[in-house]
Amino acid sequence: MDVLYFAWVRERIGLPREKVQTEAATVTDLVEELIAREPRYAAAFADLSALRVAVDQQLADFDAPLAGVREVAFFPPMTGG
């Protein structure tokens, strides 16, 4: 699936998007897989309460299932307007 990062999450991880091969059942499982990869992911995902997630471009919770999902995005709380 495509995994996208925005704002300071993008800066900490060092790229805006990547393809990830995963069998993760939920967003939390995916986060744990990413954290296990490299310290930069651990730095970005250190405090999940400071992050928001969108699954297929809809805001979701971290326990959201990933079956059939094409795109997951991680970002800080939004500051529009």
* Residues of the shown chain interacting with another protein in the complex, contacts defined by CB under 8 A: 4, 6-8, 54, 57-59, 73, 75-81
Nearer to another protein, 23 or 81 (CB): 81
User: HSE of 63 in the Cβ direction (CA atoms, 13 Å)?
Assistant: 0
Nearer to another protein, 68 or 80 (CB): 80
Structure tokens at 1: 């699936």
Looking up tokens 């998007």, which residue turns up?
Answer: 17
Query: What is the closest distance, in whole angstroms, from the C-beta atom of residue 74 to another protein in the complex?
Result: 11
Nearer to another protein, 36 or 68 (CB): 68
Query: Are 1 and 68 a contacting pair, CB within 8 Å?
Result: no
